[in-house]
Structure 1
Amino acid sequence: MAETMRAVDIKNGAGPIEALFINEIPKPKPTATQALVKIKYFGLNRMDLSQREGGYPVPPQAPKTLGVEFSGVIEAFGNEPERGFNIGDEVFGLAYGGAYAEYIAVSTHMLVHKPKELSWEECAGIPETWITATQALYLIGEYTPGKTVLWHAGASSVSISGIQLSVGDGASKVFATTRQDSKCEFVVKELGATAAFNATTTKWDEEILKATDGKGVDIIIDFVGAGYFAQNLNAAARDGRIVNLGILGPAIVPAGANFSNFVRKRLRLEGSSLRSRDENYQGRLRDMLVEHALPKFVSGQFKIHIEKVFPWEEIQDAHRIMAENKTMGKLICRVS
């Protein structure tokens, strides 16, 4: 068996898009609960851009190679794999890193058997986005059917997943914000959101209050951060939950935020990340994904929206498109 493999590398360890290239690196060896998976496709995520530039805090157990989601075939195991997996199984999964490669060593606790109804490309676009949305909606947001939900960055891959989860699990109303009218139309017509508001041309918090008869929404999932802090407090319902998963905008809360809303409405604001969580936590989310979403992927009720599939030799082009922030679905790479 070869001791090396091809993988996407970064010249000098971090840099611009042009620093990405395919290199020959050591092939990983599975240990303990890990499986060695031969990768067919991997998905791109916004964190990959930050990591490429050297600005993302990578977990200590992560390899330096980019990529956290993939689909492929199991070729070997460590000495303590989870029951139910065998050599030759077709799987998809979530990893701490290393998916931009021909092979990955990953915990079997974060693998899911690939349904025959789904393509390799689709499966590579599920793990990071759908598990993140599951975490935000259920574990942190404490969602129950009948609640109202607002997803910011509504055409991002996580929100595309989350809107479908919310609609599919009986939310009374599902709202979204985007920064383009075409994306607003997409999340309503394609994903089933109740309404979507262009955050650059409307006062979306006031629109949310109008649409909920002044009550506000029970759960807000936010990727923007400080720039939406005041509006989130205004748009949230009493006893609402605000879940922050990213900082796409400024990190400093602007002056003028009415903090009395926070106390008066008894709100809970919680920040979270998925990649830094331990294996047991991520395994719990894997199980929730299988329970809540996998049957609906198979039936066709839930869809994995793919913007474009690239051969991995065109990884620079894939990063350029992601950086433009114009996509309405996953960017996927095929390993050849």
Structure 2
Amino acid sequence: MHAIAVTAPGELAWTEAADPQPGPGEVLIRVAATGVNRADLLQAAGKYPPPPGASDILGLEVSGVVADTGPGVDGWPVGEPVCALLAGGGYAEYVAVPAGQLLPVPDPVPLVDAAGLPEVAATVWSNLVQTAGLHAGQLVLLHGGASGIGTHAIQVAKALGARVAVTAGSTAKLDDCRALGADIAINYRDEDFVAVLRAEGGADVILDIVGASYLDRNVDALAADGRLIVIGMQGGVKAELNLGKLLAKRAGVIATALRGRPVDGPSGKARITAAVTENVWPMIADRRVRPVIGARLPLARAAEAHAMLAAGQVTGKIVLTV
């Protein structure tokens, strides 16, 4: 098969690679498209190695059709359209994945666009609902509201009945967020999100992709009993945490990651994908939630897609088609 290989830090090439084979409990997918994530950029730069046992090929999510199944797999017939959450291997014509990480392609989403759903849907549901307990009437602050995760999180939070505040860096992106349902849109370049959230009584939940440079301000923006969920480190990895502020608010700071989770277990990927299928896919079926695809490029142009994502040129996800 063909796949994208990292030939040097930050350099990608379209090359031949060994065909994967499905092992016990695994499904082989003939890939139609793969989603692009910031983790791919970090791995390509040599800063985010795959978990032990995972493919060293980039790519954390795909859509396609079942090509073959390994021993012990039932319920996924050959030819079935699917999408899947991966630990790696998506930038290729074929990928093998544990059956517990497969999801059906939700109606009415085209097969290619479904490649942009597994990572954001699993991230948003596991963090906002399973970890933070977001529910109707609460206020959630989403940093990076125009990102793939942000655009999905806006819609899911609104479908749950929550109020949504977002940050973004341009008028156009803030307009995109409002069109998806955001109630409060904050330009982080010239507005203080802490002041805006305090005027609203504070955020019950904050989903943060920035990390260290926002830590203290995020705590300031929390409401009493609020939860700060950190899922990214674009603003660094180390910062001072004022425990007095947390105590006064009875607040919590939780850092989570998706890629390195086991397949099974209470916090495993199979549990998350099952919850996504049960709870988020009906939101897509009745059009309360839709995938936001900012660009579609051939897989051979992965380097161009990475540059677009790094420069913040798109709202929503970039998918690469095979």
The TM-score bracket by the shorter chain reads over 0.9
TM, length-normalised to structure 2: 0.96
- Find the partner of 1:197 among 183, 186, 196: 186
Is 1:48 matched with 2:40? yes
Deviations 1:163-195 (A, max 9, x none): 111000111x2111112222122111x210111
Q: SS at the partner of 1:135?
A: helix
**Structure 2 unaligned residues grouped into runs of 5+:** none
Distance 2:276 2:90 in 1: 20
Cross-structure match for 1:287 = 274
Deviations 1:41-73 (A, max 9, x none): 111001000000110142112111000111111
Is 1:310 matched with 2:291? no
Cross-structure match for 1:208 = 197
Superposition RMSD on alpha carbons, in Å?
1.3
Distance 1:183 1:163 in 2: 13
Cross-structure match for 2:236 = 250
Is 1:67 matched with 2:59? yes
Distance 2:270 2:176 in 1: 32
Cross-structure match for 2:2 = 6
Please say if residues 295 and 314 of structure 2, whose CA atoms lie closer than 8 Å, have aligned partners that are also in contact: no
Distance 1:128 1:150 in 2: 20
Aligned length: 319
Deviations 1:113-167 (A, max 9, x none): 2245211122000000111011110121122222211111111111111111100
Is 1:105 matched with 2:101? no
Counterpart residue identity of residue 72, structure 2 = E
Q: CA deviation at 1:237?
A: 0.8
- Find the partner of 1:24 among 12, 16, 22: 16
Where do residues 169-188 of structure 1 align in structure 2 (5 Å cutoff)? 169-171=160-162, 173-188=163-178
Residue 115 to residue 167, structure 1, CA distance change in 2 (3 Å): closer
Deviations 1:251-303 (A, max 9, x none): 2326xx75422110011101000001110211111111112211221222211
TM, length-normalised to structure 1: 0.92
Please say if residues 152 and 159 of structure 1, whose CA atoms lie closer than 8 Å, have aligned partners that are also in contact: yes
Residue 193 to residue 316, structure 1, CA distance change in 2 (3 Å): same
Where do residues 86-165 of structure 1 align in structure 2 (5 Å cutoff)? 86-115=77-106, 117-165=108-156
**Structure 1 unaligned residues grouped into runs of 5+:** none
Counterpart residue identity of residue 10, structure 1 = V
Q: SS at the partner of 2:180?
A: coil
